[in-house]
A = this chain, B = another copy of it.
Amino acid sequence: MSSERRATLADVAAAAGVSVALVSIVMRDAPGASAATRARVLEVARRLDYQPDSRARLLRSGQSRLLGVVFSVMHPFHDDLLTGLYDAAEKIGYELTLSAVTPRRDERTAIAGLLQDRCAALVLLGPQIPTAELATLAGRLPVVAMMRTVRQRQVDVVRTDDGRGLHLAVDHLVALGHRNIAHVDGGRWLSSAERRQGYRDAMRRHGLQAYERVVNGGYGEEDGARAARELLDDPPTAVTVFNDLSATGLLDVLRRHGLSVPGDISVVGYDDSSFSRLAHIDLTTVAQDIETMATLAVARAVERIDGAQIVHREVVIPPRLVVRGTTGPPAA
């Protein structure tokens, strides 16, 4: 069936009556072949349906122009990030090789796979493994962590300024006239501390420390729902929530208890997850600048590969606020 061996450089060379090396030159678009033979070789290659073997190619030419990316199937906007990474990588002639984290395939496994593929650098989306492991990894090849801080000299970081994200959210609510603004926390999740601190700072900046209130939350819908029930005793006029998923859980409980959003209470999420755009949910939220982050992550990885001097190890991108239907002026 598909047992006819794939064409190799040697096959093409034989068919075109030239040496293997010359075919290699032509395929790589390298200087050293006349226009005439170049055309002839290309024609033969096309006829034999020759496909270069990237394994052999990379094996021989040491440097692999290959970036390993670890992403998680559980995380909604990793998809958007992948899109950006592909764009950025293509632009500078690098290939991407992906390895997914799934509920039953952990980060260590995903990384190990990429190491065997000998990629030149690793881009990790929201890595959860301990800093120490990241550090030893970074001793071996350039590592760029996205969407979390890493206190480790060797590991590069590209992330959003989460503190600033909450400033934006609070500023927006204050501008609408809110004063009694609570924050639903993310618990042990990555960057939950930064967001909480951002909320605190923003409240103080507005002289609203008297209203400061942080309630326990978490990553999922359930966490948001629980927080909502806690808030119902003494509802604020607005809430900022750790992330969109949690915010939808919160929204649902609020509405079921007869509160109107944004009439009685305004809600701001975080992440601009795809579902927050649904007409049904229409959540005001803080968006990360995915395209910029992707571009910078790839650029940084390549800089490291090329052994460039890195000045700012940590790149922090400002987020932006996406105003949708869950925020409005407080009830008079």
Please list the residues of chain A having a beta carbon within 8 angstroms of any beta carbon in chain B: 1-3, 6, 49, 51-56, 58-59, 73-74, 76, 79-80, 82-83, 86-87, 90, 95, 97-100, 102-105, 112-113, 115-118, 138-142, 221, 225, 248-249, 251-253, 274-275, 278-281, 304, 307
Which residues of the partner chain B approach A140 to less than 8 Å between Cβ atoms? 2, 6, 49
Contact A87 B58 (CB under 8 A): no
Task: Determine the chain B residues whose CB is within 8 A of the CB of A6 once the complex forms.
Answer: 118, 140
> Once the chains bind, are A116 and B279 in contact (CB under 8 Å)?
no
User: A54 to B86, alpha carbons, bound, how many Å?
Assistant: 23
Across the A-B interface, the 7 shortest Cβ-Cβ residue pairs = A73-B79, A83-B102, A54-B116, A252-B279, A98-B98, A275-B275, A55-B55
What are 8 A-B interface contacts by the 8 Å CB criterion?
A3-B307, A51-B115, A82-B102, A83-B104, A86-B105, A98-B98, A252-B278, A274-B275
Contacts of A58 in B (CB 8 A): 55
Kindly identify which residue among B52, B83, B105, B280 contacts A251, using a CB–CB cutoff of 8 Å.
B280
Q: Are A103 and B118 in contact (CB under 8 A)?
A: no
Asked if residues A279 and B59 are in contact (CB atoms below 8 Å), the reply is: no
Instruction: Report how many copies the assembly holds.
Output: 2
Given A225-B279, A275-B275, A307-B1, residue A54 in contact with residue B105 (CB < 8 A): no
- Give A115 to B7 CA distance when docked, in angstroms: 12
| A76 contact set on B, CB distance < 8 A | 274
Q: Are B54 and A56 in contact (CB under 8 A)?
A: no
| Cα–Cα, bound, A113→B67 (Å) | 14
How close is A64's CB to chain B, nearest CB, in angstroms?
Answer: 8
Query: How close is A283's CB to chain B, nearest CB, in angstroms?
Result: 10
Q: A53-B59, A86-B102, A252-B278 are in contact. List 7 more A-B contacts (CB 8 A).
A: A53-B118, A82-B100, A86-B105, A87-B102, A249-B278, A252-B280, A275-B275
Kindly provide the distance from the CB of A67 to the nearest chain B CB, expressed in whole angstroms.
13
Residue of B nearest to A256 (CB): B279
Tell me which of B2, B53, B112, B281 contacts A139 (CB under 8 A). Answer: B2
- Closest chain B residue to A51, Cβ basis: B115
CA separation between A83 and B225, bound complex, in Å? 28
